[in-house]
Amino acid sequence: MARDSCLARVTAGVAVGGAVGGAVGAVYGTYEAIRIKVPGLMKIRYIGQTTLGSAAIFGLFLGAGSLIHCGKSY
């Protein structure tokens, strides 16, 4: 039972991290695309890459943090 609970916590951490990272990445990617004057439809690709990269990094770190905290009992 503890293993299922830990897996659920890590999964939730990855999901929340991905959502937060995606939102931050979309805002930052849009700002950067406008700031550095990315031409035409390349803006969409640039924003997408920034969004996915940011979501992956945030999800990884929040999932790892959740995994570390699984073993602790408060």
Measure CA of the first residue to CA of the last residue in the chain; give whole Å. 17
What's the pLDDT tens digit per position in 44-73? 999 999 999 999 999 999 999 999 998 776
Checking if the pLDDT of 18 tops 70, the result is: yes
Q: Is residue 48 part of a domain?
A: yes
pLDDT of the residue at 3: 59
Report how far apart, in Å, the C-alpha atoms of 9 and of each of 12, 23, 33, 68 are. Answer: 5, 21, 35, 11
Residue 2 maps to a domain: no
Kindly state the percentage of the chain with pLDDT values over 90.
81
Q: Which residue has the higher pLDDT, 3 or 23?
A: 23
Distances in Å between the Cα of 61 and the Cα atoms of 6, 11, 15, 29, 66 are 16, 12, 11, 20, 9
The total number of structural domains in the chain stands at 1
| 3 found inside a domain | no
- Is the pLDDT assigned to residue 74 strictly greater than 90? no
Model pTM score: 0.84
